[in-house]
């Protein structure tokens, strides 16, 4: 289920009440960037087997209302955290490329 609804920025209401998620283990970036999403029904979402929820709700609206039944869900804190590591990786790559370029100039 990784990234299924990712960047669906015009999505406003989503009812996934009948989604069978019993065997799902990856929900990474599932709702990432759903900036217009206001109501999300996850009452029957079973997340007990999910091992990766990284940035599941990152860049969603601050007004997002989640409907969740706790007995079925085991949402991890990582699902609600922003992922800023891509900036670090980008700058690290540029730094490495500059070192390589500089080394070839000196050789």
Look up tokens 């029904």; give the residue: 41
DSSP code per residue over 69-93:
-TTT----GGGGS---HHHHHHHHH
| Chunked mean pLDDT (size 10), the chain, 107 residues | 88 86 90 90 83 85 78 61 57 75 69
Asked whether residue 39 is assigned to any structural domain, the reply reads yes
Asked whether residue 69 is assigned to any structural domain, the reply reads yes
Burial pattern 79-102, b for ≥16 Cβ within 10 A else e, equals: beeeeeeeeeeeeeeeeeeeeeee
Rounded CA-CA distance 93/46 in Å is 38
pTM of the model: 0.65
Count of helix runs (H) and strand runs (E) in the chain: 1, 3
Number of domain units in the chain: 1
Asked whether residue 43 is assigned to any structural domain, the reply reads yes
- What pLDDT score was predicted for residue 79? 64
- What pLDDT score was predicted for residue 36? 93
* Residue 106: its H or E element: helix 85-106
Asked whether residue 36 is assigned to any structural domain, the reply reads yes
Asked whether residue 4 is assigned to any structural domain, the reply reads no
Range of the domain at 49: 13-106
End-to-end alpha carbon distance in the chain: 49
């Amino acid at each position: 289920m990784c990234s299924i609804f990712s960047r669906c920025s015009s999505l406003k209401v989503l009812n996934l009440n009948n989604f069978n998620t019993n065997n799902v283990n990856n929900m990474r970036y599932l709702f990432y960037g759903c900036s217009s999403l206001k109501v999300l029904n996850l009452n029957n979402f079973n997340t007990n087997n999910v091992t990766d929820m990284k940035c599941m709700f990152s860049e969603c609206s601050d007004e997002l209302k989640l409907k969740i039944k706790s007995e079925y869900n085991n949402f991890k804190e990582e699902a609600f955290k922003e992922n800023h590591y891509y900036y670090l990786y980008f700058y690290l790559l540029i730094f490495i490329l500059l070192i390589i370029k500089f080394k070839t100039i000196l050789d």
